[in-house]
């Protein structure tokens, strides 16, 4: 197996991009990554594209061909593959690219993620996202996607004393971080009161506990570490790439307040990289809802089970604190174009490790972790990156 590095990154602005189509945004992100890496189109050996549900959002399948075609690469007939694991589709695309390069099968591979969510109305989007859960035994019973995380939140509060204010503290931190990110969907800070006074979606989750509906795309170029320096002075090395699965329905989990897929993916990643949670300087975790960030920082091992809410309230996950989490603003405030999220997380960590994150820069960050979840934890993907 060969060591693999990221040599180029690109990401569109995140938001309601009414004037841009699906093909516009993935080409925009892809070209940014290609220019950043300084590679030529002819050098690209393969494309992996993460996308959750273009079939329902824009009535378009066969995205792999569309991506290669509109990226101007159809003439060289390279393999192009779409991968899907709901909101973890982007993480999967990155992992597929890493495996392809590590194996020696390909050299220069582009891993992209894209989702165009605003071409349908909110009811339709809610229904598409509910397909990340078990349609036949959760969805048909009346479950919405927020309601599934709300049931986790309720039990976490019951078992560990986590409060609505602690959930809100996640949103407040991530909105503040996003205020320093020009790509973010929401660049305005919010207060605890704003979150608690926003309308209830699924009790105890308020509107501002939920990530938004977002259009966006991101791309990274990966290459064998041994040739990465030919393209960039600042290759970002991939120390671990792990992926796990678990039950699709929340009701079948051993512990409803633990994402066992995250626990196992994190343990495997730390073993592979020969690191511990204490070695991580910065993390982008999957905060599709505020409770999801609390679960993530516990299940990855930054904090003990049940202490994630208090740790957040105490400021331990802010930029400059013990373990900065979601400096980009996370899914919560930077936005969550579901298939793009896992790749955007890689772009953020790469920028941070290069020291190019501007006002939200975590000083001296050398090792970063990315955590991407599909559904309520049916899939988890973790990457550990270093300078």
The site for other proteins (CB under 8 A) is made up of 123-124, 126-127, 135-138, 140-144, 146-147, 150-155, 158, 199-205, 249-252, 256
Sequence-distant (6+) residues with CB within 8 A of 290 are: 153, 167, 168, 170, 171, 195, 205, 209, 332
Q: Which is nearer to other proteins, 158 or 229 (CB)?
A: 158
Q: Which is nearer to other proteins, 250 or 295 (CB)?
A: 250
Q: Select which of 87, 210, 288, 334 is catalytic.
A: 87
Q: Which is nearer to other proteins, 46 or 143 (CB)?
A: 143
Minimum distance from residue 126 beta carbon to other proteins (Å): 5
Minimum distance from residue 123 beta carbon to other proteins (Å): 4
> Annotated catalytic, 336?
yes
Q: Which is nearer to other proteins, 152 or 269 (CB)?
A: 152
Q: Select which of 106, 286, 336, 383 is catalytic.
A: 336
HSE on the CB side for 145, CA within 13 Å?
28
> Annotated catalytic, 158?
no
CA distance linking residue 369 with residue 241, whole number of Å: 10
Minimum distance from residue 248 beta carbon to other proteins (Å): 11
CA distance linking residue 186 with residue 334, whole number of Å: 6
CA distance linking residue 363 with residue 361, whole number of Å: 6
Q: Which is nearer to other proteins, 155 or 180 (CB)?
A: 155
CA distance linking residue 263 with residue 250, whole number of Å: 16
> How far is the CA of 94 from the CAs of 72, 84, 103, 314, 377, in angstroms?
21, 12, 14, 33, 18
Q: From its phi and psi, is residue 326 left (phi > 0), alpha (psi between -120 and 50) or beta?
A: left
For residue 206 the two structure tokens come to 């308020």
Minimum distance from residue 295 beta carbon to other proteins (Å): 14
Minimum distance from residue 242 beta carbon to other proteins (Å): 22
CA distance linking residue 115 with residue 345, whole number of Å: 15
User: What is the set of active-site residues?
Assistant: 87, 336
């Amino acid at each position: 197996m060969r060591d693999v590095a990221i040599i180029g990154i690109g990401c569109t602005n995140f938001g309601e991009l009414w004037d841009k189509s699906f093909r516009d945004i993935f080409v925009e992100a892809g070209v940014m990554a290609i220019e950043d890496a300084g590679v030529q189109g002819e050098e690209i050996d393969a494309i992996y594209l993460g996308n959750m549900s273009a079939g329902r959002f824009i009535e378009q399948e066969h995205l792999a061909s569309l991506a290669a075609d509109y990226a101007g690469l159809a003439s060289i007939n390279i393999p192009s593959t779409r991968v899907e694991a709901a909101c973890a589709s982007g993480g999967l695309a990155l992992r597929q690219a890493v495996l392809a390069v590590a194996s020696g099968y390909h050299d220069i591979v582009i891993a992209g993620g894209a989702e165009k969510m605003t071409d349908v109305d909110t009811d339709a989007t809610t229904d598409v996202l509910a397909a990340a859960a078990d349609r036949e035994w959760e969805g048909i019973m009346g479950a919405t996607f927020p309601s599934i995380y709300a049931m986790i939140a309720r039990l976490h509060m019951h078992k560990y004393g986590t409060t609505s204010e602690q959930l809100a503290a996640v949103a407040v931190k991530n909105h503040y971080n996003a205020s320093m990110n020009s790509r973010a969907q929401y660049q305005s800070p919010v207060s605890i009161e704003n979150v608690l006074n926003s309308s209830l979606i699924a009790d105890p989750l308020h509107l501002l506990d939920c990530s938004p509906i977002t259009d966006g795309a991101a791309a990274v170029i990966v290459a064998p570490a041994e040739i990465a320096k030919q393209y960039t002075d600042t290759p970002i090395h991939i120390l671990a790439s792990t992926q796990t699965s678990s039950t699709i329905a929340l009701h079948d989990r051993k512990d409803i307040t633990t994402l066992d897929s995250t626990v196992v993916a994190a343990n495997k990643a730390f073993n592979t990289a020969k690191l511990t949670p204490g070695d991580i300087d910065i993390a982008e975790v999957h905060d599709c809802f505020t409770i999801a960030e609390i679960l993530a920082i516990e299940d990855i091992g930054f904090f003990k089970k049940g202490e994630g809410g208090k740790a957040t309230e105490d400021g331990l996950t802010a930029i400059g604190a013990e373990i900065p989490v979601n400096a980009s603003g996370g899914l919560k405030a930077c936005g969550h174009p579901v298939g793009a999220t896992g790749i955007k997380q890689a772009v953020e960590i790469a920028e941070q490790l290069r020291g190019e994150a501007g006002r939200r820069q975590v000083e001296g960050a050398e090792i970063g972790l990315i955590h991407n979840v599909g559904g309520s934890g049916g899939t988890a993907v973790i990457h550990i990156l270093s300078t």
